[in-house]
Amino acid sequence: MKTAIKSMMIGAAVCTVAAPAFAYTLTGTIPAFSAPTKPPNTGAVLVNLQKPIATSYVKLTITAPQALSLGIGYGVTVCVGPKSNSCSLAVVVPSGRQVVLYYYSGDFKYYGIWLGQGTAAAVPYIIDVEYTN
């Protein structure tokens, strides 16, 4: 009996260590927005989450760090959808601030997170991803 209990305890410990991470951070830059007459005219970047997502909801803490090199305030537009210009709801994160958003995990089966900005310089972003139920 004691051997069976010890085996179960060791098995539980191994499963705990092998469990997938439930939180991680994504960082990067959003490219500069060019004039409409100059390609590529993007100013947007697509960010995909690690898959599979095993929980019901995803908590995103999106930070737009202060970009001292710009010398001006800027805003990062955040939306979840198939394209950067086809999101039904977009949220703007002012520079130097952060926003916390909750999404149903099924939204990320087909969609990604689009981050956009309208300055002539690339700007940084930080996304803290946490899987919740």
Backbone phi and psi for residue 29, each to the nearest 5 degrees, phi listed first: -130, 150
pLDDT of 12 > 70? The answer is no
Host domain of residue 33: 22-132
Q: How many domains does the chain have?
A: 1
Query: pLDDT tens-digit profile of 66-99?
Result: 876 666 778 899 998 888 777 778 899 998 899 9
Q: What pLDDT does 69 receive? A: 67
Residue 69 placed within a domain = yes
pLDDT band at 119 (very low <50, low <70, confident <90, very high): confident
Domain assignment present for residue 35? The answer is yes
Residue 123 banded pLDDT, cuts 50, 70, 90: confident
Residue 110 in domain: yes
31 lies in some domain: yes
Residue 13 lies in a domain: no
8 Å CB contact between 31 and 45: yes
97 and 64 in contact (C-beta within 8 Å)?
yes
- Confidence class for position 101, pLDDT limits 50, 70, 90: very high
72 is a domain residue: yes
In a domain, 98, yes or no: yes
Work out the pLDDT band at 118, boundaries 50, 70, 90.
Answer: confident
Position 60 in a domain: yes
The CATH number that applies at residue 117 is 2.60.120.380
Q: Is 79 exposed, middle or buried (0-12, 13-18, 19+ CB in 10 A)?
A: buried
